[in-house]
Chain A
Amino acid sequence: MGTSALEFEKPIVELERQIEEMRRSSAEQSINITAELAPLEHRLAELRREVYRNLTPVQKVQVARNSRRPFTLDYVKLCFTDFIELHGDRAFRDDAAIVGGWARLEGETVMIIGHQRGRDTKENIHRNFGMPHPEGYRKALRLMKLAEKFHVPVLTFIDTPGAWAGLGAEERGQSEAIARNLFAMSELQVPIVATVIGEGGSGGALALGVADRILMFEHSVYSVITVEGCAAILWKDGKSPEMREKAASALRITAPDLLELGIIDEILPEPEGGAHADHAAAAATLAKHVGEQLDELRKLKPEKLVRRRREKFMKMGQFEE
């Protein structure tokens, strides 16, 4: 960790390195330099705040995709107890790009389902960079139905560039698998809370996103298409930083944008320097907010829950008449 700093984070990383260096040499020489360090640490905190307060949309995309950011299984470890992973769609294979299973949040059983990316190349190949095949969505559906059967709420974590575009995925019905999840989530009789923890990419994200409450981490993004894809289609240039920047701004993909558009319910604040700077703090925020939402949703009868969820999505969109 810490090796793949983002471009705009370089000043932060540099300062961190200096402080670390001073600490180490002072420890070696047994000198107390707390007084000298204090202004530097103060400056570091300020720098982090400054950089992260002014992130541009395209920088948020980079933060959301950062491999140091906590993934679904990190949150599982940090917020939940008694996790037991459940594998496979019972039809084709186990898709490692989506993980799920039983767990406890503050002692209460919940069903967790989330996209899972990899931290290194080997793990990313295993997890297909968090891009699911149809069997991943079908596993997710199986787990949702299982949760429904035992009246257990479903918590989903969204963190994917999108559904995998490949031959096998198409052959096995990627479209149908995503559509089926949207449909089934619209009538699931238990509470669903979805949280965008990283990148919410298109239909592949939405297939875990039809929920009673949709939360989004401060620096995560949620979009109908990747910024690269958008720029490539509209301006025939998906590579250059200018076009990616233009697409990122135009698509309105940041958490405040989505709150304003009426898509999400709540923005989860991230620790100074982003969720990747402090996994534990991000996890504590997640547990607290998801727990609060669940407490409210648990009070609703299934019919009311489903009716409200449908109404929520039926209201989405803007037009004139």
Chain B
Amino acid sequence: MAWFRKEKKVREPRRERLEIPPDVWEKCEACGHTDIREKLVRNWHVCPSCEFHRRMRAHEYAALLLDEGSIEETEVDLKSTDPLQFPDYPARLKKALGTAGDSDAILTATGTMERMPVNLGVMDFAFMGGSMGSVVGEKIARLAQRSLEKKFPLIIVSASGGARMQEGVLSLMQMAKTSAVLSQLHDRAIPYVSILTNPTTGGVSASFAMLGDAILAEPGAVIGFAGPRVIRQTLGQDLPEGFQTAEFLLERGMVDHVSHRHQLKQTVGRLLRHMSLKPVASGWDTA
């Protein structure tokens, strides 16, 4: 018999087994890389493996671009109605309000960017595909009006499939409305920077999105007038690789820059300081 006997002790697990709920993980649409969602969120939804820019919600863009604690949402009371009594529109609106929040397809806010006061609009693809109806047009018009009154630069981040069909020709006219208000900003030399994200097509790309004093696009974003599906149908052939991407538009001279999401804020800041004749790295207050 051995002089030493190991004392048999039932080992208690030190802690509960870590339960990882399946929805903590997210898979990159582009490369299949799987990562913890929290990590992707902290990386502003850019895939750490392939740099694919995933879709991001409007409030996240506001947090990305504006200084912490400076964000003040504007025009919160505007709500879409159903002016044409279009089939299923009220139900679709209700659903969108439930899933995407009550800012409609654009969040408008005032705040500071690198200490410069700015007005920011961010379209939200989650709300009916970022479609532009009367509310989107009106929110942009009012935001621009604020810029006119206070001489604050205007920034709009676009993500949209185009005009909101369910509001018919009223939606179409929002293209004219937003362009008309931008022409007023132009008269008063108030800078406007347009940021195009995936996707920016239809009536949005054919109005305010393409009218920036500077136009930036996120890598890989699909940008065009007719969506790829429509062109494919019209022509009955496949589109060339990379057609209508941000990089393609840069090459064809349609945008000024393709900017990585992590560099977006400093790029816009630099542009705005140039266009407002402010010194390097200064805020509005130090000018």
Contact = CB atoms under 8 A, between A and B. Distances in A.
Interface of A: 163, 165-167, 169-176, 178-180, 182-184, 186-187, 202-203, 206-207, 209-210, 222-225, 229-230, 233-234, 246, 250-253, 257-258, 261, 263, 309-310, 313-314, 316-321
19 contacts: A163-B225, A173-B210, A180-B211, A182-B206, A187-B183, A202-B163, A206-B175, A223-B169, A224-B171, A224-B172, A225-B165, A250-B84, A250-B87, A250-B168, A258-B169, A314-B177, A319-B80, A320-B78, A321-B77
B243 A170 contact: yes
B179 A224 contact: no
Task: Report which residue of B77, B138, B173 has the largest number of chain A beta carbons within 10 angstroms of its beta carbon.
Answer: B173
Interface in B229-258: 230-231, 234-235, 239-240, 243-244, 252-254
A318 B83 contact: yes
Given A167-B235, A175-B205, A180-B211, A320 B179 contact: no
B176 A206 contact: yes
Given A187-B187, A263-B173, A318-B83, A253 B179 contact: no
A194 to B, nearest CB: 11
A234 B165 contact: yes
Interface string B173-192: 11111011111101100000
B176 A209 contact: yes
Contact of B184 (A179, A257, A263, A310): A310
B174 A317 contact: yes
A236 to B, nearest CB: 13
Interface string B73-86: 00001111101101
Contacts of A170: 224-226, 231, 243-244
Given A175-B225, A210-B176, A250-B87, A263 B181 contact: no
Contacts of B171: 224
Nearest to B161: A233
Given A170-B243, A178-B225, A186 B168 contact: no
Given A166-B235, A210-B179, A319-B78, A203 B184 contact: no
B248 to A, nearest CB: 8
A183 B183 contact: yes
Contacts of B226: 163, 165-166, 169-170, 174
A224 B225 contact: no
A296 B168 CA distance: 30
A130 to B, nearest CB: 15
B209 interface: yes
Contact-residue size bin, chain B (C-beta under 8 Å from the other chain): 35 or more
Nearest to B163: A224
Given A167-B243, A234-B165, A251-B84, A173 B170 contact: no
Contacts of A310: 180-181, 183-184
Contacts of B254: 173, 175-176
Contacts of B138: 317, 319
B141 interface: yes
Given A310-B183, A316-B176, A320-B78, A175 B210 contact: yes
Nearest to A318: B83
B197 interface: no
A210 B180 contact: yes
A252 B179 contact: no
A69 B167 CA distance: 29
A178 B182 CA distance: 14
B207 interface: yes
A-B complex: 9 closest residue pairs judged by Cβ atoms = A317-B134, A165-B226, A182-B179, A174-B225, A175-B205, A186-B180, A178-B206, A318-B83, A224-B172
Contacts of A314: 141, 177, 180-181
A79 to B, nearest CB: 26
B137 interface: yes
Nearest to A205: B172
Given A182-B179, A233-B165, A316 B173 contact: yes
B175 A182 contact: yes
B130 interface: no
Given A166-B235, A170-B224, A261 B180 contact: no
A223 B203 CA distance: 12
B169 A179 contact: no
* Most chain B CB inside 10 Å of its own CB: which residue of A182, A224, A252, A321: A224
A187 B176 CA distance: 12
B177 A313 contact: yes
Contacts of A180: 210-211
Nearest to A251: B168
Given A180-B211, A210-B176, A224-B203, 7 more contacts: A166-B231, A167-B235, A175-B210, A187-B183, A316-B176, A318-B167, A319-B81
A178 B187 CA distance: 20
A318 B138 CA distance: 9
Nearest to A229: B230
B159 interface: no
A178 B174 CA distance: 13
A138 B254 CA distance: 15
Contacts of B174: 316-317
